[in-house]
Amino acid sequence: MTDLTQSAAEAPELKVLVAAPRGFCAGVDRAIRIVELAIERYGAPVYVRHEIVHNRYVVESLKAKGAIFVESLDQVPDGVPVVFSAHGVPKAVPAKAEARGLDYIDATCPLVSKVHKQAERANEQGRHIIFIGHAGHPEVIGTLGQLPDGAMTLVESVDDVAALSPADPDNLAFLTQTTLSVDDTRDIVAALQHRFPSIQGPRGEDICYATSNRQEAVKAIADQCDRVIVIGAPNSSNSLRLVEVAERLGTPAHLVQRGTDVDPAWLAGIATLGITAGASAPETLVREVIDAVAAHRAIVEDVVVTAEEHMTFKLPRGLEPAAA
């Protein structure tokens, strides 16, 4: 380690390209605020079903304020409020909460809720839905749970499309998880449209603006970098996609959760480092990672802006903060 540190100190300045947009999106910001306001309104503890967003730092910060995270409503005592995560939940979950008389607050991202409504409309039209997403992801579980079993079929790849054998191939619709790879999804949609020319898709893109913007920002810096660091959780779909985007452009990429995860060996012998953050990672972690890099190499920062984001979402009725 000493030899590595000494050689790093003698190395020329490391250029750090910081992608923008990066980090928190409007849906994540809203979900975190909902938990904080629920604690203010009801008092601690407030229960949260599943991680409110996929970021350990955020979850631990909310725990310190009085949030208790559980995976099932069965773990929520009677008489206390519960918040549903930004990823959305199957319809059976709020139904069960109502049956128990629990106060619940739905922090589902409005862009995920939009997909839920699209699924309901397609189902009402009698169309079988092909849903593009990653099996087991909370958003996928929540979306599939909006309709009766068998109303939707999940596909994860072009190969899955080839294996489809729908009962009525002329009466299909497709929808997508909001945090997918834009490029991968485009290929799967093209395969669906090739096999089923009459398939109906959503009027607009289901992949959310923040996911698309962050992937485009990585594309803008990756070919200028010797290596890319993505700040995000290993169970964060949109963060994992950022790693994949960089690596597809031929740039080695690493997913880290904190500054302590930065390996000094990644910084040896490189001239330019790219840094970005998934939609669930707060800016404080971006600064922490940059500081960790600066502890091993002298750096000069440059922010590369590819889009401006001004999206905001309303809070649920009754949770608006009191006027100052």
The pLDDT tens digits of the residues spanning 226-242 come to 999 999 999 999 999 99
In the three-class reduction of DSSP (H, G, I as helix; E, B as strand; rest coil), residue 84 is classed as strand
**Rounded mean pLDDT, 112-124:** 97
Closest CA to 94 of 324, 321, 316: 316
At residue 205, the pLDDT reads 73
Question: Residue 207: pLDDT band by 50, 70, 90 thresholds?
Answer: confident
Residue 236: the pLDDT is 93
Res 57: pLDDT: 95
- Residues marked active site are found at 139
Q: Which stretches within 11-162 are classed as H helix?
A: 26-42, 56-65, 92-100, 110-124, 138-144, 158-162
pTM: 0.90
pLDDT band at 7 (very low <50, low <70, confident <90, very high): low
CA atoms within 13 A on the CB side of 150: 2
User: For residues 18 and 286, is the Cβ–Cβ distance under 8 A?
Assistant: yes
**Predicted confidence (pLDDT) at residue 13 exceeds the cutoff of 70:** yes
Q: Which residue has the tokens 């970098």?
A: 225
d(CA 219, CA 225): 10
How much is the mean pLDDT over the chain?
94
Tell me the pLDDT tens digit for each residue of 248-263.
999 999 999 999 999 9
Q: How many CB atoms lie within 10 A of CB 263?
A: 13
